[in-house]
Amino acid sequence: MSDLPLLRFLGRCHVEFAQDFSGKLADYIPELTKADPAHFGICIATVDGYVHATGDGYVPFTIQSISKAFVFAMALELIGAEKVESTIGVEPSGDAFNSIRLNADNRPFNPMVNAGAIACSGLICDAEGNGAFERILHELSRFAGRRLDYDSDVFESERATGDRNRAIAYLLRTHGVLRCEVDQVLDVYFRQCAVRVTAHDLAVMAATLANNGINPVTGESVLSPYVVARTLSVMVSAGMYDYAGEWGYRIGIPAKSGVGGGIVATLPSQLGLGIYSPLLDSHGHSVRGVQTCEALSSHFDLHLLNQVADVRNCVGAAYDLAGVSSRRNRQAGEQAILDAHQSSVITLELAGAINFGNMEYVSRRLSEAKSRALQAIIDFRRVSSVSQAAVRLLESCLDALTASGVTVTLSGTAHMASFSAAVDSWLGRMPKLHKAALLDEAVEWAEDQIIYLHGGYDRLREQTALADQALLEGLPAEAVESLAASMTERRFQPGERIIAANERAHSVLFISRGMVSVKLASGLRLATLVAGMTVGEMALLETYRSADVWADTRVDCLELSLDAYARFREEHPQASERIIRNLAALLARKLIVANRKIDALASY
């Protein structure tokens, strides 16, 4: 047995419901009575294109009314919503599929009953003439992700006996809903119903609806999001005919059935279900198909209206500068300014798919923070999507915030092309809005603004004497002099590599002027260091360099080789112990910062 939980569940449904031989084969199309009542296949295609199949997932049968949902979608796409929506209604009729009744305007109630579906095929005939069926077959094949064909025996059988549909078509033509000849339209409609599919095909077709119109197996874009939403809504209201209300109440997943024994069901953003079992209940739905859908929905609680998300979960972390600082190491004077103005920057890290409710919550968090914070940073790196509604709310929220003097930086948006483009379009209009590639850059920029605002840069020391190095704090002057005597001056140009990862470490560098960045091979910045700080000091403990160090500006350093340090240690044992204590203190400070960061991330 498979170790995949969903497949195991489908397997259990299959074993259980396969025993049930209640229901009848459809017989009003004589050819359909040839189906094997034992056939039973269940397939589920996920939106990442994986298909679970159990039982007779690859047995072909005719699609029948399931085609209605997909041809309606195709008509909206090809002919346009205005024309289609003015020809066919979207109200549930509460009637059986083959009801010969139109609404008060003499239009079909909806595209899921035969009258609406025939009208829909008529629209395709108007648009495509003799090529109408070929076009339909082509479009259905795009949903299924493979070239489909049709069963000519079933087609002939229905054409020979389909007087009821003929009656419906004449009624439609009397009211001007059909413009092509009745026989021409019915020829297309009957062929479309006779298209041969498998449960596997239906699952992929349904998953294309679940995946916002993109076939998850082929990657082909078949429908626009507008059309997907409209198609699913008529499936909800009328897909299961006079059982639609009950279906929506109990199962709550948009679905469509066909008298050939198929059922499709779509759980948006998650999966598409295709079932084949030809024994039908009194409404014309596959008995085992309905049982399987009921079992799935109740066991996994898949009812679409059963939503338990909490809007607040979209804020993955929220903190000010007391919680998190940038990777830029600050000199004491700068750090003192930042410490005094910790709460003037608020950062919200968002996560997941951001919808209307999430962004409304975020907008309130930001508006609260406005009274104390001069700057806000919103990070989107862990966001998978931002809905259109959320984008509208955010735009209006940023308008208000920036107009009231708050500087806002949005970071980590690059992986969402259209959202990123929307942000770009706001930048010109909102002078206090900024964009940063990475959260760390946004935080560094925000810190810079604060330091600048409070005059920190005037006090910034561009050049540091060796005695002022944090690592040498507390050393007697004579020890510093002895160290200085054994050091070599090194100079680096901007962009030059100072230390390479994995190299053997043989020295410690004291920066006396300029700025350097410690980076991983991926380009991720671990730290930025300036005059008065050391690089490669881990050489005192470790044998190999753990990351690259690059000169950001022109850099002057004093280099202390490990050999020279060993000699110094012999001569000045107490001073060298002090150096190691200073190193421990610097590492401890880094650890405290790292712990604060973990705490800030974990407490939300």
Q: What positions carry a catalytic annotation? A: 65, 68, 189, 241, 259
Say whether residue 98 binds ligand GLU (CB under 6 A): yes
Supply φ then ψ for residue 19, to 5 degrees. Answer: -70, -25
Minimum distance from CB of 39 to ligand GLU (Å)?
17
Nearest to 353 by CA among 316, 408, 328, 317: 316
Minimum distance from CB of 199 to ligand GLU (Å)?
16
The C-alpha atoms of residue 140 and residue 426 are separated, in whole angstroms, by 41
Which residue type is seen at 281?
Answer: D
Say whether residue 56 binds ligand GLU (CB under 6 A): no
- Using CB under 6 A, pick the residue from 284, 323, 532, 536 that binds ligand GLU: 284
Say whether residue 409 binds ligand GLU (CB under 6 A): no
Tokens of 17: 């419901």
Strands (E), 198-326: 255-257, 262-267, 271-276, 315-319
The C-alpha atoms of residue 403 and residue 425 are separated, in whole angstroms, by 17
In the window 189-228, what residues touch ligand GLU (CB under 6 A)? 193
Helices assigned H by DSSP within 1-61: 5-17
- Using CB under 6 A, pick the residue from 158, 187, 320, 441 that binds ligand GLU: 158
Residue nearest to ligand GLU (CB): 65
- Using CB under 6 A, pick the residue from 54, 65, 325, 409 that binds ligand GLU: 65
Say whether residue 259 binds ligand GLU (CB under 6 A): yes
Residue 109 neighbours by CB under 8 Å, 6+ apart = 89, 91, 92, 93, 95, 101, 102, 103, 115, 116, 238
Tokens of 223: 């429908």
Say whether residue 97 binds ligand GLU (CB under 6 A): yes
DSSP letter string over 397-419?
A: HHHHHHHTT-EEEEES-TTSHHH
Say whether residue 61 binds ligand GLU (CB under 6 A): no
Minimum distance from CB of 132 to ligand GLU (Å)?
16
The C-alpha atoms of residue 223 and residue 241 are separated, in whole angstroms, by 24
Tokens of 196: 């041969």
Strand partners, 489: 558
**Strands 375-386, 407-411: pairing kind:** parallel
- 3-state SS assignment for residue 446: helix
The C-alpha atoms of residue 154 and residue 447 are separated, in whole angstroms, by 73
Nearer to ligand GLU, 167 or 587 (CB): 167
Binding characters for ligand GLU, 112-131, by CB under 6 A (x = yes): --x-----------------
Say whether residue 258 binds ligand GLU (CB under 6 A): yes
Helices assigned H by DSSP within 177-262: 182-193, 199-210, 225-238, 244-250
The C-alpha atoms of residue 51 and residue 340 are separated, in whole angstroms, by 57
Supply φ then ψ for residue 201, to 5 degrees. Answer: -60, -45
Nearer to ligand GLU, 64 or 347 (CB): 64
Nearer to ligand GLU, 213 or 258 (CB): 258
In the window 530-569, what residues touch ligand GLU (CB under 6 A)? none
Minimum distance from CB of 178 to ligand GLU (Å)?
15
Nearer to ligand GLU, 190 or 550 (CB): 190
Nearer to ligand GLU, 144 or 376 (CB): 144
Nearer to ligand GLU, 28 or 356 (CB): 28
- 3-state SS assignment for residue 555: strand
Say whether residue 64 binds ligand GLU (CB under 6 A): yes
Minimum distance from CB of 114 to ligand GLU (Å)?
5
Minimum distance from CB of 30 to ligand GLU (Å)?
13
In the window 343-372, what residues touch ligand GLU (CB under 6 A)? none
Q: Counting beta carbons within 10 angstroms of the beta carbon of residue 531, is it exposed (0 to 12), middle (13 to 18) or buried (19 or more)?
A: buried
Helices assigned H by DSSP within 454-556: 477-485
Direct distance between the N- and C-terminal alpha carbons of the chain, in angstroms, rounded to an integer: 40
Nearer to ligand GLU, 243 or 419 (CB): 243
Minimum distance from CB of 181 to ligand GLU (Å)?
18
Minimum distance from CB of 108 to ligand GLU (Å)?
13
Minimum distance from CB of 255 to ligand GLU (Å)?
13
98: left (phi over 0), alpha (psi -120 to 50) or beta: alpha
Strand partners, 518: 527, 549
The C-alpha atoms of residue 168 and residue 194 are separated, in whole angstroms, by 19
DSSP letter string over 87-117?
A: HS------S-TT-----TTSS-S-TTSHHHH
Tokens of 225: 């999001």
Number of residues that bind ligand GLU (CB under 6 A): 11
Nearest to 560 by CA among 494, 513, 511: 511
The C-alpha atoms of residue 71 and residue 176 are separated, in whole angstroms, by 20
Nearer to ligand GLU, 47 or 132 (CB): 132
- Using CB under 6 A, pick the residue from 165, 237, 413, 512 that binds ligand GLU: 165
Minimum distance from CB of 64 to ligand GLU (Å)?
3
Minimum distance from CB of 158 to ligand GLU (Å)?
6
In the window 474-533, what residues touch ligand GLU (CB under 6 A)? none
Nearer to ligand GLU, 64 or 208 (CB): 64
Nearer to ligand GLU, 167 or 500 (CB): 167
- Count of all residues that appear for the chain in the document: 604
Nearer to ligand GLU, 41 or 514 (CB): 41
The C-alpha atoms of residue 309 and residue 277 are separated, in whole angstroms, by 35
CA 27-33-35 angle, 5° bins = 140
Supply φ then ψ for residue 426, to 5 degrees. Answer: -85, -25
Say whether residue 110 binds ligand GLU (CB under 6 A): no
Binding site for ligand GLU (CB under 6 A): 64-65, 97-98, 114, 158, 165, 193, 258-259, 284
